[in-house]
Amino acid sequence: MTVGSAPTAPAHRYLDHAILALLVFDGFLTAILAVLFLPIRVGAVPLPLSALVAAVVNVLLVAGARTVTDRPGRAALPLIGWFLGFLACMVGGPGGDALLLADWRTLLLLAGGLVPATALLLKWGADATVARGQAARVR
Protein backbone atom coordinates (compact mmCIF):
# COMPACT_ATOMS: atom_id res chain seq x y z
CA MET A 1 0.00 0.00 0.00
CA THR A 2 1.39 3.40 -0.93
CA VAL A 3 1.19 6.52 1.17
CA GLY A 4 -2.05 8.40 0.59
CA SER A 5 -3.83 5.52 -1.10
CA ALA A 6 -7.06 3.95 0.09
CA PRO A 7 -6.78 0.84 2.28
CA THR A 8 -6.91 -2.47 0.50
CA ALA A 9 -10.02 -4.63 0.76
CA PRO A 10 -8.56 -7.29 3.12
CA ALA A 11 -7.22 -4.66 5.52
CA HIS A 12 -10.58 -2.93 5.51
CA ARG A 13 -12.32 -6.24 6.20
CA TYR A 14 -10.04 -6.94 9.19
CA LEU A 15 -10.77 -3.51 10.57
CA ASP A 16 -14.50 -4.14 10.23
CA HIS A 17 -14.14 -7.45 12.10
CA ALA A 18 -12.16 -5.72 14.86
CA ILE A 19 -14.79 -2.99 15.20
CA LEU A 20 -17.56 -5.58 15.32
CA ALA A 21 -15.69 -7.56 18.00
CA LEU A 22 -15.27 -4.37 20.03
CA LEU A 23 -18.99 -3.64 19.72
CA VAL A 24 -19.82 -7.16 20.96
CA PHE A 25 -17.53 -6.63 23.97
CA ASP A 26 -19.19 -3.25 24.58
CA GLY A 27 -22.58 -4.96 24.57
CA PHE A 28 -21.36 -7.50 27.13
CA LEU A 29 -19.90 -4.74 29.31
CA THR A 30 -23.07 -2.65 29.01
CA ALA A 31 -25.15 -5.54 30.34
CA ILE A 32 -22.91 -6.00 33.35
CA LEU A 33 -22.91 -2.28 34.15
CA ALA A 34 -26.69 -2.08 33.69
CA VAL A 35 -27.15 -4.93 36.16
CA LEU A 36 -24.80 -3.32 38.68
CA PHE A 37 -26.68 -0.01 38.54
CA LEU A 38 -30.16 -1.59 38.47
CA PRO A 39 -30.78 -1.44 42.27
CA ILE A 40 -30.35 2.37 42.45
CA ARG A 41 -32.98 4.02 44.64
CA VAL A 42 -34.04 7.58 45.30
CA GLY A 43 -35.03 7.45 48.93
CA ALA A 44 -37.22 4.38 49.22
CA VAL A 45 -38.34 4.42 45.57
CA PRO A 46 -36.48 2.13 43.13
CA LEU A 47 -35.28 4.03 40.05
CA PRO A 48 -34.19 1.56 37.32
CA LEU A 49 -32.59 4.13 35.00
CA SER A 50 -30.11 1.54 33.80
CA ALA A 51 -32.93 -0.13 31.83
CA LEU A 52 -33.42 3.08 29.85
CA VAL A 53 -29.69 3.54 29.39
CA ALA A 54 -29.34 -0.08 28.21
CA ALA A 55 -32.12 0.47 25.66
CA VAL A 56 -30.43 3.54 24.20
CA VAL A 57 -26.92 2.06 24.23
CA ASN A 58 -28.04 -1.20 22.60
CA VAL A 59 -29.74 0.69 19.77
CA LEU A 60 -26.54 2.68 19.27
CA LEU A 61 -24.41 -0.49 19.35
CA VAL A 62 -26.61 -2.19 16.75
CA ALA A 63 -26.56 0.95 14.59
CA GLY A 64 -22.78 1.02 14.89
CA ALA A 65 -22.57 -2.62 13.87
CA ARG A 66 -24.77 -1.83 10.88
CA THR A 67 -22.10 0.58 9.61
CA VAL A 68 -19.53 -2.22 9.29
CA THR A 69 -21.80 -5.00 7.99
CA ASP A 70 -24.83 -5.28 5.74
CA ARG A 71 -26.04 -8.57 7.16
CA PRO A 72 -28.71 -8.23 9.89
CA GLY A 73 -27.43 -11.35 11.67
CA ARG A 74 -24.00 -9.82 12.08
CA ALA A 75 -25.48 -6.45 13.06
CA ALA A 76 -27.25 -8.29 15.92
CA LEU A 77 -23.96 -9.54 17.42
CA PRO A 78 -23.64 -6.66 19.95
CA LEU A 79 -27.16 -7.45 21.13
CA ILE A 80 -26.20 -11.11 21.54
CA GLY A 81 -23.17 -9.99 23.54
CA TRP A 82 -25.47 -7.92 25.76
CA PHE A 83 -27.77 -10.89 26.32
CA LEU A 84 -24.84 -13.15 27.20
CA GLY A 85 -23.66 -10.56 29.73
CA PHE A 86 -27.17 -10.42 31.16
CA LEU A 87 -27.23 -14.21 31.47
CA ALA A 88 -23.78 -14.22 33.09
CA CYS A 89 -25.12 -11.92 35.81
CA MET A 90 -27.93 -14.36 36.52
CA VAL A 91 -25.54 -17.23 37.25
CA GLY A 92 -24.74 -17.61 40.92
CA GLY A 93 -21.22 -17.22 42.20
CA PRO A 94 -19.25 -19.61 44.39
CA GLY A 95 -21.31 -18.78 47.47
CA GLY A 96 -24.60 -18.96 45.61
CA ASP A 97 -24.85 -15.17 45.36
CA ALA A 98 -26.29 -13.73 42.17
CA LEU A 99 -25.98 -10.17 40.89
CA LEU A 100 -29.43 -10.21 39.36
CA LEU A 101 -32.49 -10.88 41.47
CA ALA A 102 -35.88 -11.82 40.09
CA ASP A 103 -38.20 -8.83 40.36
CA TRP A 104 -39.93 -6.34 38.09
CA ARG A 105 -36.75 -4.32 37.52
CA THR A 106 -35.03 -7.36 36.04
CA LEU A 107 -37.84 -7.84 33.54
CA LEU A 108 -37.77 -4.12 32.74
CA LEU A 109 -34.02 -4.32 32.09
CA LEU A 110 -34.44 -7.39 29.89
CA ALA A 111 -37.23 -5.77 27.87
CA GLY A 112 -35.47 -2.41 27.68
CA GLY A 113 -32.23 -4.01 26.57
CA LEU A 114 -33.70 -6.27 23.90
CA VAL A 115 -36.94 -4.85 22.51
CA PRO A 116 -35.84 -1.50 20.97
CA ALA A 117 -32.71 -2.92 19.32
CA THR A 118 -34.59 -6.00 18.09
CA ALA A 119 -37.32 -3.76 16.63
CA LEU A 120 -34.63 -1.80 14.78
CA LEU A 121 -33.12 -5.00 13.40
CA LEU A 122 -36.56 -6.22 12.29
CA LYS A 123 -37.21 -2.87 10.57
CA TRP A 124 -33.93 -3.16 8.66
CA GLY A 125 -34.78 -6.73 7.69
CA ALA A 126 -38.24 -5.72 6.49
CA ASP A 127 -36.81 -2.79 4.51
CA ALA A 128 -34.31 -5.11 2.82
CA THR A 129 -37.08 -7.58 1.97
CA VAL A 130 -39.23 -4.82 0.44
CA ALA A 131 -36.24 -3.55 -1.56
CA ARG A 132 -35.55 -7.06 -2.91
CA GLY A 133 -39.23 -7.45 -3.83
CA GLN A 134 -39.27 -4.13 -5.66
CA ALA A 135 -36.07 -5.00 -7.48
CA ALA A 136 -37.55 -8.33 -8.59
CA ARG A 137 -40.73 -6.57 -9.76
CA VAL A 138 -38.78 -4.13 -11.94
CA ARG A 139 -37.11 -6.92 -13.93
Query: What pLDDT digit, counting tens, does each position of 77-121 carry?
Result: 999 999 999 999 888 777 777 776 778 999 999 999 999 999 999
- In the chain, the amino acid numbered 126 is A
- In the chain, the amino acid numbered 19 is I
What CA–CA distance (Å, rounded) separates 58 from 111?
Answer: 12
Query: What pLDDT digit, counting tens, does each position of 13-23 carry?
Result: 889 999 999 99
Query: H or E stretch including 96?
Result: none
Task: Supply the pLDDT for residue 1.
Answer: 45
Task: Supply the pLDDT for residue 8.
Answer: 53
